[in-house]
Amino acid sequence: MGLCQSNLIRYQIEQNKRIEKELQIASKVQGQTQKLLLLGAAECGKSTILKQMRILHDNGFSPDELDNQRSLIYSNTIQGMLTMIRAMDNLGVVPKSAKMQRNASILREVVQTDQEYWPFARETYEALKQLWADEAVQECFSRRAEYHLHDGVR
């Protein structure tokens, strides 16, 4: 008894060798990995640097990541416009267009119905286009240093 190894013990030994080999390979790969701690204040470009590094040294973005970025662009566009509209009161900027309130309401409705992450409907696109052409919005944009407007809004 005990002089011969059972099939179970041989299997366990082989399994252990495979696991040890995988651990050695993983250790080598981890040893070659460079890590970088990126610190900075909010809105200073940390995420942008990370994205650029991925584009340069990785395979870019997956289709899912591109869809996610697209959704963020839609949302940031609407949120940026609403931020400028809210800033008008604080800056004392008086809208000159009668359509301003209607267009602002369209954007608020888009946000309230969680449609801000999707491609713009024709009505939303036209509202954004008319608001951006408005002199009051342009004045608020030129005075963006006086309130917080996301850097990506332009």
Summarize the annotated binding site as residue ranges.
43-48
User: From the annotation, which residues make up the binding site for Mg(2+)?
Assistant: 47
Determine contact, residues 97/130, Cβ cutoff 8 Å: yes
Determine contact, residues 53/46, Cβ cutoff 8 Å: no
Q: Using CB atoms within 10 A of its CB, is residue 89 exposed (0-12), middle (13-18) or buried (19+)? A: exposed
**How far apart, in Å, are the Cα atoms of 146 and each of 89, 95, 112?**
12, 18, 27
Determine contact, residues 124/72, Cβ cutoff 8 Å: no
User: From the annotation, which residues make up the binding site for GTP?
Assistant: 43-48
Nearest to 7 by CA among 15, 22, 19: 15
